[in-house]
A and B are shown apart, each in its own frame.
Chain A
Amino acid sequence: MPSPLDLADLPFLRDALVELVLLAIAGGILGAWIVLRRLAFFSHAVGSATFPGLVAADASGVSPTLAGVAVALGYAGGVERAGRAGREPSEATALLLVAALAGGVVLASDVFESGAAVDRLLFGTLLGLDEADLALSAAAAALATIATLTLGRAWAALTFDPDAAGGLGLPAGVADFLLLALVAVAAVAAIPAVGVLLVTVIYVLPAAAARLVARSVPALIGWALALALLEGIVGLYLAYWLDVPPGPPVALLGAGVYALVAVVSAR
């Protein structure tokens, strides 16, 4: 069993540790809003929607981060418009999810012949996290914190009672789009570490477990933040120990914690 201190001592692990701590901050804070607004499926789909764009960008030398953010923001705008038009976006979201994954695999294997990159994009990696990845995650954590401090009261009021916007004079459309856009950017930030398929590991599982015990929005954010940090750091250690990408152990840990909290809170 390797020493847990390696996480701080080995340079590549130190970068991964910083990355997961930043993502845990973004994930804990944004995750609370994701579970309250029932955006779990959106957060999963928006990560997957970027997959073909990431493959194409990776193969053609364009910054995958910029390509991912652009695709994700476009997708968030589409979902916000569909919601405003009163449409049920789940079917379109599901269709896009499947099409994006299939398209990404076809692009990677047959068009760009970069099959090796597919595993990394789907499940993340401990290796090769660069400064741009860390910067995007830091931006996601900072934006999540600032947005919650400034928009949190409006998000809570609009989620609790969607009809309240007019009477309270709240800019519902702008607030909704900013939340979706923030989730989209944060999902792209998580892709290098946990991969397209496991974005929800960071943004849904800790907050979903916290939701079982929290009795107020601040408590939910606090619990989600604590669980996200715990699962991220322990999951990273397990990934290092088992020599696997970090996404799967963090996912299993998150699912285990959720099950444990569900059993304990039901008593």
Chain B
Amino acid sequence: MSALRVEGLSAGYGGPPVLRDVSFEAEPGQTVCVLGPNGGGKTTLFRVLLGELAPIAGRVAGPGRPAYVAQTERTRLDFPVSALDVALMGTLATGRWWLPARGAERAAAAAALERVGLAERAGTRFGELSGGQRQRALLARALVQDARLLLLDEPLSGVDPASAGLIAAVFQELRAEGRTLLVSSHDVESARTFDRVLCLHGRQVAFGPPAEVLDRRTLEATYGSEMIVLEEGRPKRAVTIQHHEHGAH
């Protein structure tokens, strides 16, 4: 039985669909990298999976409510919460959000911070953490939810190498626990480390193992005007022009 099954999905915001013809399955313990340009439909897919957006057509079947890790830029850095407070927010997903946090829930939040290497920063204000530490605090919030399906929006974007290593290690643990991860990304190269790759450009361009999906033709169809540059002398290195130029500065 698959952990996540999406069949003929189309979704939009009142007008014509911004995402259509999406069909894929992800097994328990599989990691899926969702590639696509800005506006390609990655966020729309996540909103449907979170139940925030009703599909125009198609069906979605998943293993309960997913946990969601937003980009850290979407959070309020001036909000007076500690890393522990953020992790504790994950306990709201139990449905007891109108009651005070119990001792066991506080212990779960502390354990999640330990798991992402933030135990010593538990009392630090979220806004005073580094970008990578903030991403790890949000990941701890998702871990506390104990969800079978996790949706992560560019979790490795702009994080320091130490945090990226810790986050990647947690991904491996989650995979070993049989949880399914959908990770949106702009980084074509990192997509090669996932079990499956889903390419979106307003529709599903491709889905499958990285070795089958990540060819030049598919990537050009995925990124359209954001053409792919295959760097000279490094045939496996594929980056978007956006990232190529960014790296040159």
Contacts and interface: CB of A to CB of B under 8 A. Distances in A.
B102 interface: no
A219 B81 CA distance: 11
B66 A167 contact: yes
Given A160-B89, A215-B125, A167 B80 contact: no
A60 B134 CA distance: 57
Contact of B89 (A162, A164, A215, A216): A164
A157 B89 contact: yes
A169 B92 contact: yes
B98 A151 contact: yes
Interface in A227-265: none
B155 to A, nearest CB: 14
B80 A166 contact: no
Nearest to B71: A163
Contact of A168 (B75, B90, B126): B90
A164 B68 contact: yes
B103 to A, nearest CB: 16
Given A151-B98, A160-B75, A161-B74, A166 B47 contact: yes
B124 to A, nearest CB: 10
A170 B92 contact: yes
A143 interface: no
Contacts of A160: 75-76, 79, 81, 86, 89, 126
Contact of B98 (A154, A159, A214): A154
B54 interface: no
Contact of B70 (A150, A164, A220): A164
A217 B81 contact: yes
A106 to B, nearest CB: 39
Interface residues of A, number: 26
A48 to B, nearest CB: 27
A36 interface: yes
A156 interface: yes
A169 B52 contact: no
A159 B79 contact: yes
Contact of A36 (B75, B79, B126): B79
A169 B65 contact: yes
A165 interface: yes
Interface string B26-40: 000000000000000
Interface string B78-104: 011110011001101101011011000
Contact of A216 (B66, B82, B100): B82
A153 interface: yes
Interface of A: 36, 150-151, 153-154, 156-157, 159-170, 211, 214-217, 219-220
9 contacts: A153-B97, A153-B98, A160-B86, A167-B93, A167-B142, A169-B93, A170-B92, A215-B80, A217-B80
